[in-house]
Amino acid sequence: MKKYIFPIVIAVLILPLSLNAGATPTTERTKGYHVNKNFDVVPNNKNDNRKVILITIDDGPSKYGNDMMKTLQKHNAKAIFFVNGVHNKKYPYNIKMQHDAGFSIGNHTWNHINLKQQKNKDKIKKEIDDNTKLILKATGSSPKFFRAPFGVSTPYVKEITKADGMIYMNWSGSAKDWEKNTKEEKVFIENIMKDLHPGEILLIHEHQWTAKYLDTLLTKLEQKGYSFLDPKDITN
In a domain, 137, yes or no: yes
pLDDT, tens digit (0-9, with 9 covering 90-100), for 173-188:
999 999 999 999 999 9
pLDDT, tens digit (0-9, with 9 covering 90-100), for 84-143:
999 999 999 999 999 999 999 999 999 999 999 999 999 999 999 999 999 999 999 999
CA angle 132, 165, 104 (to 5 degrees): 60
List the beta bridge partners of residue 41.
35
Q: What is the CATH number of the domain that holds 149?
A: 3.20.20.370
In a domain, 16, yes or no: no
189 lies in which domain range?
Answer: 28-233
Q: 29: pLDDT confidence band, cut at 50, 70 and 90? A: low
In a domain, 95, yes or no: yes
Name the pTM for this structure: 0.87
In a domain, 120, yes or no: yes
In a domain, 218, yes or no: yes
Question: What secondary structure does DSSP assign to 69-122, as a single string?
Answer: HHHHHHTT--EEEEE-GGGTTTSTTHHHHHHHTT-EEEE--SS---TTT---HH
In a domain, 158, yes or no: yes
Instruction: Count Cβ atoms below 10 Å from residue 35 Cβ, excluding itself.
Output: 21
Total domains in the chain come to 1
List the beta bridge partners of residue 79.
55
**Separation between Cα atoms, residue 133 and residue 152, nearest integer Å:** 22
- Exposure on the CB side of residue 48, measured as CA atoms within 13 A: 16
In a domain, 64, yes or no: yes
What pLDDT sits at residue 212?
A: 98
In a domain, 10, yes or no: no
